Amino acid sequence: MEFFNLHTHKFIKQANILELVNQYPQDFDGTIPFYSIGIHPWYILEERVETDLAIIESKLKDTNCIAIGECGLDKRIEVPMELQQVVFERQLLLAQKGNKAVVIHCVAAFQEVIETKKRLNISVPMIIHGFSKNNQVAHQLISNGFYISFGKYLLLNKDLEEVFKSIPDDKLFLETDNIEEGIEAVYHLAAKYKGISIAELQHLINKNFKSVF
């Protein structure tokens, strides 16, 4: 594996890239080699929650399912936070049961995500995807055991350079999410910011992959 893409919605099937492809319970594609599966807070339908959770639980023993998610909390949508919280917690407990990492979507709810991890005593790896916040938020997450993944906003926001450089090497992942640029572009910028070679960055990310997945 030359490149690991922590979170993408597009499976491009390149031999040198291992992609963790985001899947939704109702649109599951069994041909995708490595995937995460979860209920995104944007797409919670109360009448379908139990069915979706049952589908997620059915994938826990699938070796190609290497993470639950993306799931999480988002304060900027109309889905009630109480419902989001219940669905998030149910998925965290499934991840704990299946010993799967969790890919987290979080918007304006970092304190709630941290509190939930602590309260439920979640010990499986939890990765905040698409990080775009400041050093204070980043290091609060790191101190509470989270991993942080960078992608779209790293390419778009030069101000993230200092935040990115401050993340410990063993807590870092890279992704594309839904951008047009490939994971190689994210790696090249990340290596530049870290002041290391692409090969050194690949070694670092591969080591984290083995540790988490």
Taking only the tens place, the pLDDT of each residue in 43-96 is: 999 999 999 999 999 999 999 999 999 999 999 999 999 999 999 999 999 999
Residue type, position 114, single letter: I
Whether residue 13 has pLDDT greater than 90: no
The whole-number average pLDDT for the span 181-206 is 97
- Which among 83, 81, 86, 126 has a CA at the least distance from the CA of 107? 81
Pick one of 3.30.43.10, 3.20.20.140, 3.40.630.30, 3.40.1230.10 as the CATH number of 3-212. 3.20.20.140
The whole-number average pLDDT for the span 128-151 is 98
Partners of 72 in the β-ladder: 105
In angstroms, the Cα distances linking 168 to 24, 172, 208 are: 31, 7, 11
Whether residue 1 has pLDDT greater than 90: no
Residue 170 among known ligand-binding residues:
no
Residue 203 among known ligand-binding residues:
no
β-strands 101-107, 65-74 pairing: parallel
- Which among 157, 145, 178 has a CA at the least distance from the CA of 22? 178
- Using DSSP's 3-state secondary structure scheme, residue 42 falls into helix
The whole-number average pLDDT for the span 101-130 is 98
Tell me the pLDDT band of 179, cut-offs 50, 70 and 90: very high
The whole-number average pLDDT for the span 135-154 is 97
Residue 105 among known ligand-binding residues:
yes
CA 170 from centre of chain: 15
Residue 162 among known ligand-binding residues:
no
